[in-house]
C-alpha cells in the first residue's frame, strides 16, 4: 500500500476510532488489488512473452497501480500519494506507447519504479508504527520491492526471462502481502476497541477514544 509519512501527520502518537475506521475502509480495495496482482504474477510466469507484449502488460500494471494508489492511499494528506500515482500512470503510458521498447528500457523503468515505491512504503511504515499496530507489514512490502528493483537495475539489459522472473515474483509476493494486510486493516477498529476496553479497565489509561497505539 502506498503510504507516506505525511499521511499520518495529524495523528501524533495515538490512533483514534475515526482514523481506524478510515484505514479499515480501504480493506476491500486492498484485497482486490492483491488478488489482481497474484493473477498478474501467474500470467507473467505462464505466458510466452515477447518484449513488446511484456512491456504492454507491465505498463498496464503501472497504470492500474497508479489509479489504485490515488484512490486508496492514506487517509489524511494525500498529496504525495497522488503524485506517486500519477508518476506510476505516466510511466505505464510511456512504456505502452514506446515504439519498440528494449529490455534495457523495460528493466530501467521496472527497477526504478520498484525502488521508488518500495522506499516510500518503508518510510511510511516507520511513520505509521506509532498509530498502526501492524505497521511491519508495510515495512515488509517495501523490503520486498526495493531489492527487486535493485535486481532489475543491476543488469537492465538482462534476458527477457530475468525480467519475467522479477516481475512475476513482485506481483505474486506483493499481492499476497497486500491480501494479508487487507484483513489486518479490516480488523483494525475491532482491535482498537479491545485495546480501549483494556485501557479503560486499568489505572492511568489513555483518554477515552484515543488509546495509545502499540506496534
Per-residue pLDDT tens over the stretch 46-104: 998 988 898 899 999 999 989 988 876 555 556 777 888 898 899 899 989 887 778 88
- Cα 75 from Cα 48, distance rounded (Å): 40
For 50, list phi and psi in degrees, rounded to 5: -95, 165
Q: Which of 132, 125, 141, 126 has the alpha carbon at shortest distance from 179?
A: 141
- 3-state DSSP of 119-168: HHHHHHHHHHCCCCCCHHHHHHHHHHHHHHHHHHHHCCCCCHHHHHHHHH
User: pLDDT at position 13, please?
Assistant: 43
Highest mean pLDDT among 2-11, 68-77, 134-143, 151-160: 134-143
**Confidence (pTM):** 0.74
Highest mean pLDDT among 73-77, 114-118, 183-187: 114-118
* pLDDT value at 43 more than 90: yes
User: pLDDT at position 131, please?
Assistant: 66
pLDDT in tens, 150-169: 888 887 667 788 888 888 99
Helices marked H in the chain: 17-24, 27-46, 51-72, 79-97, 103-128, 135-154, 160-186, 188-200
* pLDDT value at 141 more than 80: yes
* pLDDT value at 123 more than 80: yes
Amino acid at each position: 500500500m502506498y503510504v507516506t509519512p505525511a499521511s499520518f501527520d495529524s495523528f501524533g502518537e495515538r490512533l483514534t476510532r475515526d482514523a481506524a475506521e478510515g484505514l479499515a475502509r480501504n480493506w476491500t480495495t486492498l484485497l482486490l488489488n492483491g488478488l489482481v496482482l497474484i493473477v498478474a504474477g501467474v500470467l507473467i510466469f505462464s505466458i510466452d512473452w515477447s518484449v513488446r507484449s511484456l512491456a504492454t502488460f507491465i505498463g498496464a500494471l503501472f497504470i492500474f497501480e497508479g489509479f489504485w494508489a490515488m484512490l486508496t492511499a492514506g487517509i489524511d494528506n494525500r498529496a504525495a500519494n497522488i503524485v506517486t500515482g500519477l508518476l506510476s500512470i505516466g510511466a505505464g503510458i510511456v512504456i505502452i506507447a514506446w515504439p519498440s521498447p528494449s529490455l534495457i528500457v523495460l528493466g530501467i523503468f521496472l527497477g526504478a519504479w520498484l525502488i521508488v515505491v518500495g522506499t516510500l512504503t518503508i518510510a511510511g511504515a516507520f511513520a505509521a508504527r506509532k498509530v498502526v499496530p501492524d505497521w511491519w507489514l508495510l515495512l515488509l512490502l517495501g523490503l520486498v520491492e526495493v531489492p527487486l528493483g535493485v535486481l532489475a537495475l543491476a543488469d537492465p539489459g538482462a534476458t527477457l526471462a530475468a525480467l519475467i522472473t522479477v516481475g512475476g515474483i513482485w506481483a505474486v509476493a506483493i499481492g499476497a502481502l497486500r491480501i494479508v494486510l487487507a484483513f489486518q486493516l479490516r480488523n483494525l477498529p475491532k482491535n482498537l476497541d479491545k485495546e480501549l476496553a483494556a485501557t479503560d479497565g486499568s489505572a492511568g489509561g489513555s483518554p477515552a477514544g484515543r488509546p495509545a497505539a502499540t506496534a
